[in-house]
Homo-oligomer: A and B are copies of this chain.
Amino acid sequence: MKRINIGLLGLGNIGTGTYKALEMNRDIIVARTGLDFEITRILEKFVDRDRGITVPTEKFTQDPQTIWNDPEIDIVIELLGGIEPATSFMLEAIKHGKHVVTANKAALATNYEALQTAAKENNVMLRFEASVGGGIPVLNALTTALLANEYEEIVGILNGTTNYILTKMTEEGLEYEDVLKDAQAKGFAEANPTADVEGIDACNKLSILISLVFGQRIRPEDIPTTGITGITKEDINQAKADGQVIKLLASAKTQANGLQYAVAPVRLDRSHPLASVGNEFNALFVTGNAVGDLMFYGKGAGPLPTASAVLGDVIEISRAIAKGSAYDI
C-alpha cells in the first residue's frame, strides 16, 4: 500500500486537531482510499506542550529545511496562520515539489497570485478548502460539481465570531460590548478580536471566493469592509420589529457595470435561508444560472471541522498522486 508522507507546519489548535483527526479516522480513510497517511515531520518549537495527543518527539523539527529537503515528504500542510513566514514557507515547499494544503486565509488573500503561479510552475497542487467556511466543502463544490454554471451571486456568513455575537445580541437583547466579553470568556472570540469584528477575516475569505468563482483578483484592501462594532441593541430591535435580522454578509454579485462586492452588516428578511444561520455557524448562499439557489451550511471554524477540510484536501491530492495526475491544468 502506498504511504503518503506529510510535513506539518504548526502544531497549534488547528494543527493538533488535524493530527488528532488523522489518528482518529485513519482506518476508515485507509479503507476508503487504499492509501496510508502519516505526518512524519512537524515544524513546531513547543515540543513539550500538553495537547491531549501523543506525538513522537523525533517528528519535531525547528528547521523547515528538513521538511523541504526530505524526499519522502509528498504534501506539506501549512497551519501556522498569519501572512509571514507562512507565505514564504509555502513558496519554498512548492519550489521543492511538495503539494501544499493550507487553511490560511490571510496568506492566501494577500499572496494569491504568487502562490497559484508557483504551484502551476512547479506542477504541484495547492488546495485550501479550510480557508473559507472551515469544514463546509464549498470551494470543492464551486470548482468541480458546479462548474457548468455561470455564477451570478455569492452571499456568505463567513465569520463565526461575529455571527455568534449578532445572534446573542438578537436572542438576548444585549449590547455589543457585553456579548463580546461573554464570547471572549467562552472562547468564541479572540482576546484581540479586531480581525473578526472589523470584518477583516470575512474580507479575506471573500477575496479568495471571488478569485475562484468569478475569476477576478480583488485584493482584500479593495473590498469595502464594515464590521459589527457599530451595531447597537437599537439597530437589532429595529430590524426585529420589521421582521428582519442583522447579519455580517460577505457578498459579490455580477451587475451590468461589473462585479459588485462588499463586507457589511445587512438586514435580512427572516424568510431568507441565511437568516436562520445562528451562533458560530457559517453558510454560503450561491446562485448559478443553471442550478438556481444553493446554500451550504456548517461549522466555519474549530480544530476538528477545519481538520476535516484539511484532510479532505490531503486525500484528494493523494488520490491524484496515486493516479499520476497530481497537477492542475
Contacts and interface: CB of A to CB of B under 8 A. Distances in A.
Contacts of A107: none
A259 interface: no
A149 B308 contact: yes
A292 B135 contact: yes
Given A144-B144, A150-B25, A135 B325 contact: no
A290 B146 contact: no
A256 interface: no
A289 B25 contact: yes
A140 B139 CA distance: 12
Given A28-B150, A141-B140, A308-B148, A293 B288 contact: no
A308 B325 contact: no
A32 B328 CA distance: 12
B298 A291 contact: yes
Given A290-B307, A293-B298, A304-B292, A146 B150 contact: no
Interface residues of A, number: 56
Contacts of A319: 329
Contacts of A149: 25, 308
Nearest to A139: B145
Residue among A146, A147, A291 with most chain B CB within 10 A: A291
Contact of A140 (B34, B140, B291, B302): B140
Contact of A324 (B290, B302, B313, B325): B325
B141 A289 contact: no
Contact of A299 (B141, B293, B299, B316): B293
A52 to B, nearest CB: 15
B288 A308 contact: yes
A24 B297 contact: no
A124 to B, nearest CB: 14
A158 to B, nearest CB: 15
Interface in A1-59: 21-22, 24-25, 28-29, 32-34
Contacts of A100: none
Interface string A258-298: 00000000000000010010000000000011111111111
Contacts of A295: 295-298
Given A34-B329, A140-B145, 5 more contacts: A29-B148, A145-B316, A292-B298, A294-B296, A323-B323
